[in-house]
């Protein structure tokens, strides 16, 4: 019986492990939901787990999504996870790059592989093993491209082009949107880092690039509504109750002078003289875009300016104690992933207004799972905006009258 509120599985094989990208739902290398994955077998090791910490996404707006990580602490008194123990039921399969998946109520929290095994040998025979895990971004971060010249194409097509190149040969699952921005036919230098180039595509789209909880690489175009149920979190009983709510009101997200450039031409500048007169110049420089025209580059600069030219009170994070929630609310939380939208409400006993509700965008998801406790923390971004720069534009316009998704 598991000590914690999740299921932990290791993909093990006595014949070795798959090198390169880990594989989920691959027709040639295994199908998720069956007992085998490219010769590997999934072992439920939950009964030996003492704690799990998962970190996915980003903590600050305008940053790139970081690779997801997980750490899993195992009871190892019988040395079953010790690679030196030839009597282990898993010997000799405990190795770096073991596949790992973590789930709750049959919904994934993290999928990746073990980057490092650490072992603490205790004189009282209470040995502890810890698996430090990474998602597929760590694979892409260690791959480089050969020199080539790209075709002019939409951002989603370019992302697929990169993942399909022979020197990358990405074997994991993917969910790639078509994209709205057109990228130019520009030369790509030899030894260009794959993940860095994919992030250039992400920024040129103003989209989202991340590894989903199920292990798929996801690229979402800027105006794509993910289709998730809009879950409401509130402190007054009108939504899922949160433990804590953070907000931010500072100058770290104040930018009133935005410079942007791609190889298509000259640097494009968007500035707000009123904001500059009031707050002085605060610059943001994006000089590595890939857009095919200076018009698109200018549009990106202006959209970013419109979002960040004033200080705003933004809800930036909330935490929820998962244990004790109804099964319905648990499922709603577990169905959320990065780049999904939620509503967050805060009520006040004094002052005006009596409550504030913000439409928020999930940019980070953390889990801290221990016996009798499972705290889920969301890093969130306020995406409510009422003065879109290019209203009605098919690429940079509004999905509704209040919210600009970009």
Judgement on whether residues 271 and 130 belong to the same structural domain of the protein? no
Judgement on whether residues 180 and 289 belong to the same structural domain of the protein? no
For the chain, 406 residues long, the average pLDDT of each consecutive 10-residue run is: 81 58 46 50 94 94 94 94 94 93 97 95 82 96 97 97 96 94 97 98 96 96 77 96 89 92 97 95 96 96 93 90 95 95 94 94 96 95 50 38 36
pLDDT at position 393 is: 44
Judgement on whether residues 377 and 272 belong to the same structural domain of the protein? no
Structure tokens at 298: 């200018």
To the question of pTM greater than 0.75 for the whole model, the response is yes
Q: Is the dihedral of CA 363, 66, 152, 271 positive or negative?
A: positive
CATH code: domain of residue 350: 2.40.30
Q: Which of 406, 10, 33 is nearest to 221 (CA)?
A: 406
* Residue whose tokens read 């030369």: 187
Judgement on whether residues 204 and 332 belong to the same structural domain of the protein? no
Residue 402 domain-assigned? no
Measured torsion, CA atoms of residues 193, 219, 139, 41, in degrees rounded to the nearest 10 = -160
Judgement on whether residues 147 and 273 belong to the same structural domain of the protein? no
Structure tokens at 141: 């971060």
Contact of 53 with 369, CB cutoff 8 Å? yes
Residue 67 domain-assigned? yes
Query: What φ, ψ does residue 275 adopt, rounded to 5°?
Result: -65, -40
Judgement on whether residues 266 and 322 belong to the same structural domain of the protein? no
Judgement on whether residues 160 and 264 belong to the same structural domain of the protein? no
Residue 346 domain-assigned? yes
Residue 400 domain-assigned? no
Residue 393 domain-assigned? no
Q: Is 189 exposed, middle or buried (0-12, 13-18, 19+ CB in 10 A)?
A: exposed
**Helix, strand, coil: what percent of the chain each, to 5?**
15, 40, 50
Measured torsion, CA atoms of residues 163, 135, 183, 152, in degrees rounded to the nearest 10 = 0
CATH code: domain of residue 37: 2.40.10
* 3-state DSSP assignment of residue 208: strand
Q: Is the dihedral of CA 61, 63, 65, 67 positive or negative?
A: negative
Residue 405 domain-assigned? no
pLDDT at position 390 is: 38
Residues with Cβ within 8 Å of residue 111, at least 6 apart in sequence: 22, 24, 100, 101, 102, 135, 211, 212, 213, 214, 215
Total tally of structural domains belonging to the chain = 4
Judgement on whether residues 238 and 319 belong to the same structural domain of the protein? yes
Q: Is 287 left (phi over 0), alpha (psi -120 to 50) or beta?
A: alpha
Judgement on whether residues 285 and 346 belong to the same structural domain of the protein? no
Judgement on whether residues 112 and 176 belong to the same structural domain of the protein? no
Residue 404 domain-assigned? no
Residue 388 domain-assigned? no
* Residue whose tokens read 């990169």: 162
Domain extent for 184: 140-220
Judgement on whether residues 92 and 78 belong to the same structural domain of the protein? yes
Alpha carbons 347 and 357: distance in angstroms, whole number: 9
Judgement on whether residues 55 and 179 belong to the same structural domain of the protein? no
* Residue whose tokens read 């480089």: 144
Name the H helices within 62-120: none
Contact of 194 with 143, CB cutoff 8 Å? yes
According to DSSP, the β-strands at 153-154 and 182-183 are: antiparallel
Contact of 49 with 102, CB cutoff 8 Å? no
């Amino acid at each position: 019986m598991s000590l914690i509120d999740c299921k932990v599985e290791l993909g093990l094989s006595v014949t070795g492990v798959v090198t390169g990208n880990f594989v989920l739902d691959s027709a040639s290398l295994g199908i998720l939901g069956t007992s085998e994955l490219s010769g590997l077998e999934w072992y439920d090791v939950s009964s030996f787990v003492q704690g799990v910490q998962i970190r996915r996404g980003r903590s600050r707006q305008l940053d790139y999504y970081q690779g997801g990580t997980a750490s899993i602490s195992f009871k190892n008194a019988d040395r079953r996870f010790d690679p030196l123990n030839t009597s282990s039921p898993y010997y000799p399969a405990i190795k770096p790059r073991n596949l790992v998946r973590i789930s709750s109520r049959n919904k994934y929290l993290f999928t990746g592989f073990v980057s490092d095994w650490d072992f603490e040998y205790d004189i009282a025979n209470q040995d502890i093993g810890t698996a430090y895990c990474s998602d597929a971004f760590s694979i892409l971060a260690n791959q480089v491209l050969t020199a080539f010249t790209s075709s002019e194409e939409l951002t989603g097509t370019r992302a697929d082009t990169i993942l399909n190149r022979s020197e990358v040969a990405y074997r994991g699952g993917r969910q790639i949107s078509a994209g709205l921005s057109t990228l130019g036919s520009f030369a790509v230098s030899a030894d260009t880092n794959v993940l860095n180039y994919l992030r250039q595509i992400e920024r040129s789209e103003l989209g989202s690039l991340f590894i989903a909880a199920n292990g798929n690489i996801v690229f979402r175009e800027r105006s794509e509504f993910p289709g998730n149920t809009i879950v409401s979190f509130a402190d007054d009983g009108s939504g899922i109750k949160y433990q804590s709510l953070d907000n931010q009101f500072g100058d770290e997200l104040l930018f009133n002078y935005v410079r942007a450039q791609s190889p298509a031409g000259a640097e494009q500048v968007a500035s707000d003289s009123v904001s500059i007169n009031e707050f002085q110049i605060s610059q943001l420089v994006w000089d590595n875009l890939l857009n095919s025209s200076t018009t698109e580059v200018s549009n990106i600069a202006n959209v970013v300016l419109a979002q960040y030219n004033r200080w705003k009170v933004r809800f930036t994070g909330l935490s929820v104690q998962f244990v004790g929630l109804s099964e319905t609310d648990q499922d709603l939380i577990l169905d959320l992933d990065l780049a999904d939208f939620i509503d967050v409400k805060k009520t006040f006993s004094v002052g005006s207004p009596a409550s504030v509700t913000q439409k928020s965008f999930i940019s980070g998801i953390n889990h801290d799972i221990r016996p009798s406790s499972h705290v889920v923390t969301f890093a969130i971004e306020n995406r409510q905006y009422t003065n879109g720069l290019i209203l009605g534009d098919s690429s940079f316009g509004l999905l509704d009258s209040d919210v600009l998704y970009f």
